[in-house]
Structure 1
Amino acid sequence: MNEVVHTSPTIGSNVEEIVFVIVVVDSTDRERISVTREELYKMLSHEDLKKAGLLVFANKQDVKECMSVAEISQYLKLTSLKDHQWHIQACCALTGEGLCQGLEWMMSRLKSR
């Protein structure tokens, strides 16, 4: 635009740490969903993850007779999580279906901070 603009370098920097936990659940493994719940709550109780966001990918949604997202949410007792923003996303790792939507939710949480 035929105009000279003088800039000044930024002194120092701002750093902000944002913590998210991504958990992938096998939607076909009804036998181990209780183990998944126990491990999830152990993780979320850790001091470093006290306020972490939680993204749960319900994988293998393409498999007949898999658990639905609602079933997995109920088994994991996600509605009882009061200190964590959470989202559960149906997905299929083989095709990539649902992966972008889950990551978009995570990015929208970062933007809203």
Structure 2
Amino acid sequence: MMGLFSLLRKLKRSDKEVRILLLGLDNAGKTSVLKRLASEDITEIKPTQGFNIKSVSQDGFKMNVWDIGGQKSIRPYWRNYFESTDILIYVIDSSDRRRLEETGQELNLLLEEAKLAGVPLLVFANKQDLVTALPADEIATALNLNSIRDRRWQIQPCSAKTGDGVSDGMEWAIQLCQKSK
């Protein structure tokens, strides 16, 4: 029966439709990344209470992006959105050294989730426009990303504010989807 549901789900979705889950701690810049992808104004962003969903088209792909709030009280609800995820995007505030350990713990919990097994991971090392930002390679080391063996992953330095690096990360994600579809 489960095989039938999987088959129906695949038939229902177009070949070029991708479900992206956008997670990270509060104030990491998830909504700014989402608005940047949708070419929307990012001058006034409020903390996400719950979630935002946007459909964004890029390179012939329709990306349904689920941006879920990152406050500590909301994180237990993240698991309600894992089903049918094609790509996990995890956004990190590169300038927030104080919370690097916490964000690493949250990411590790996500990587252990059965419903996210094998789902490619794109880590946006956001806020690279700030002078206090750690470089992406230092973040990768601190988060022990090089030990990930069960999925494709990429860390992408970016600034949702300026747009630098965001499209580069999404191109990586779309190339993966093109190979798997």
Deviation at 1:62, TM superposition (A): 1.0
- Could you state the TM-score of these two structures normalised by the residue count of structure 1? 0.83
Q: Does 1:86 align with 2:153?
A: yes
**Distance in 2 between residues matched to 1:50 and 1:80, nearest whole Å:** 15
The aligned residue for residue 126 of structure 2 is 59
**Deviation sequence 1:50-106 (CA, Å, 0-9, x none):** 111000001111111310010000011111000011001111111111110000000
Q: Which amino acid aligns with 2:10?
A: V
Q: 1:21 aligns with which of 88, 92, 95?
A: 88
Q: Which amino acid aligns with 1:67?
A: L
How many residues matched? 102
Q: Does 1:74 align with 2:141?
A: yes
The aligned residue for residue 5 of structure 1 is none
- Could you state the TM-score of these two structures normalised by the residue count of structure 2? 0.53
Structure 1: 5+ residue stretches without partners: 1-11
Instruction: Considering Cα pairs closer than 8 Å and 6+ residues apart, tell me whether 1 or 2 has the greater RCO.
Output: 1
Q: Which amino acid aligns with 1:15?
A: K
Structure 2: 5+ residue stretches without partners: 1-6, 12-83
Q: Which amino acid aligns with 1:100?
A: S
Percent pairwise identity: 37
**Distance in 1 between residues matched to 2:107 and 2:139, nearest whole Å:** 13
Alignment RMSD (CA, Å): 1.8
Deviation at 1:39, TM superposition (A): 0.4
